[in-house]
Chains A and B, each alone.
Chain A
Amino acid sequence: AQSVTQLDSQVPVFEEAPVELRCNYSSSVSVYLFWYVQYPNQGLQLLLKYLSGSTLVKGINGFEAEFNKSQTSFHLRKPSVHISDTAEYFCAVSNAGGTSYGKLTFGQGTILTVHP
């Protein structure tokens, strides 16, 4: 079984400040890791994903995340946020290969609020 824990349910930050959204996971097998963003009353958009290779992954809208296998973490970062980054962010994990195919396990979500 897998699980994902997003350590902060809400993160307030001022515009142009850096931000880090924390995600830890638990799994007995190798995993793929994802970050999605959800704007109010909309579906999810894929921000970035880690499948293999470099542990630093760059995504859309200036976001990046670092996979740390020893700490089982996949924290999302942005050096300077904008008002438009206000949204809910979800970390997700799936088995790397095997029979689970595209099944994802999601974290509880972190609401990022950017203040002017």
Chain B
Amino acid sequence: DGGITQSPKYLFRKEGQNVTLSCEQNLNHDAMYWYRQDPGQGLRLIYYSQIVNDFQKGDIAEGYSVSREKKESFPLTVTSAQKNPTAFYLCASSISRSDQPQHFGDGTRLSIL
């Protein structure tokens, strides 16, 4: 079955360290998204990519970076500049850039040691 795979499921970061969250899809979807979820705040958009080799900042991009070198992959790096990285991170995809997110991964929970 097609879907989105996020790894790892749990991730711990030391102060001053960059970490990368993986997101892979085998749905042949053009668009991919990264959201951050905090309790009581819903989901907030970090970055999105409408096509390979192109990505745009979302509402809370500071302290994060992404790449989209392959259609199926959209990794998110949480840099040391992100001062409050503890959250649940969700990756999503849609068939085209004009469609809304239709598939979500099961998330990565990032915590600070």
| Contact among B6, B44, B105, B106 with A106 in the assembled complex (CB-CB below 8 Å) | B44
- Give residues of chain B (25-76) contacting chain A, Cβ–Cβ below 8 Å: 31, 33, 40-45, 48, 50, 58
Q: Is the CB of A90 within 8 A of B106?
A: no
**Could you say which residues of chain A place their CB within 8 Å of the CB of B78?**
none
A80 interface residue per 8 A CB criterion: no
Q: Is the CB of B100 within 8 A of A41?
A: no
A63 interface residue per 8 A CB criterion: no
Interface size classification for chain A:
20 to 34
A94 interface residue per 8 A CB criterion: yes
Q: A102-B99, A103-B58 are known contacts. Are A43 and B90 too (CB-CB below 8 A)?
A: yes
Q: A41-B106, A42-B106 are known contacts. Are A32 and B100 too (CB-CB below 8 A)?
A: yes
- Give residues of chain A (15-63) contacting chain B, Cβ–Cβ below 8 Å: 32, 34, 41-46, 49
**Could you say which residues of chain A place their CB within 8 Å of the CB of B50?**
101-102
A residues adjacent to B (C-beta < 8 A): 4, 9, 32, 34, 41-46, 49, 90, 92, 94, 101-104, 106-109
